[in-house]
Amino acid sequence: MFRLFYVSTASPDFGPSDIKPLVETASAKNRKLGITGALKFNGINFAQVLEGEKDAVLRLMSTIRYDKRHTGVIVVAEIESDERMFGHWDMSFVDGLDFQDFVNAMSSRKEEREQNA
Ligand SMILES: Cc1cc2nc3c(=O)[nH]c(=O)nc-3n(C[C@H](O)[C@H](O)[C@H](O)COP(=O)(O)O)c2cc1C
C-alpha cells in the first residue's frame, strides 16, 4: 500500500460549484483503480491524499498534476503503509479550512516508520 499527499492551488476560475463534478469523476475512476483517499478544498488550496497500489497512485498523480483546474502541485509526502486510512472512501470530499489533520496523519505515520526503521 502506497500513500501520497499533495497540496496545490486552484486555478482562478475554479469555484465551489466546480467541486461536485470533480469529485464525482474522481470517485468513479478511483473505484475502478482501487484508489481511496480524501480531498480538501478551502476555496484557494487543495489538499489530497491518494492511497492504493503504488503504480496506480503514481499514474493517477501524473494525470492530476497536469489538470488545468489547479497549479503549483507539491507532493508533500509519499509513504508505504500496511493499511489504508481512507478505505471507506473512493474520494471523500471534506469541506473546510483545516488541513492540519491531513498533515498530522501523514507526519505521524512518517515518524512511526522512522522509529521502526
Ligand atoms: C484537485 C484535483 C483532484 C483530483 N483528484 C482526482 C482523483 O482522486 N481521481 C481521479 O480520477 N481524478 C482526479 N482528478 C481529475 C483528474 O485530473 C482527471 O481529470 C481525471 O482523472 C480524468 O482523467 P482522464 O480523462 O484521463 O480519465 C482531480 C483533479 C483535481 C484538479
Q: Looking at residue 90, what is its pLDDT?
A: 74
At 33, list the grid cell.
483503480
Which backbone phi and psi does 53 adopt, to 5 degrees? -60, 140
Domain containing 84 — which CATH number? 3.30.70.100
**How remote is the CA of residue 22 from the centroid of ligand 1, in Å?**
7
Encode pLDDT of 70-108 as tens digits.
Answer: 999 999 999 998 888 777 777 777 765 466 666 665 665
- The C-alpha cell 492530476 sits at 64
Q: Is the CB of 17 under 6 A from ligand 1?
A: no
Q: Report the domain count for the chain.
A: 1
Tens digits of residue pLDDT in 5-46: 999 999 999 998 999 999 999 999 999 999 998 898 888 999
Q: Which of 18, 41, 64 to mutate to test the pocket of ligand 1 (most atoms within 8 A of CB)?
A: 64
Mean pLDDT calculated for residue range 51-62:
97
Res 83: pLDDT: 82
How many angstroms from the chain centroid is the CA of residue 24?
15
| pTM for the structure as a whole | 0.85
The domain of 27 spans 2-116
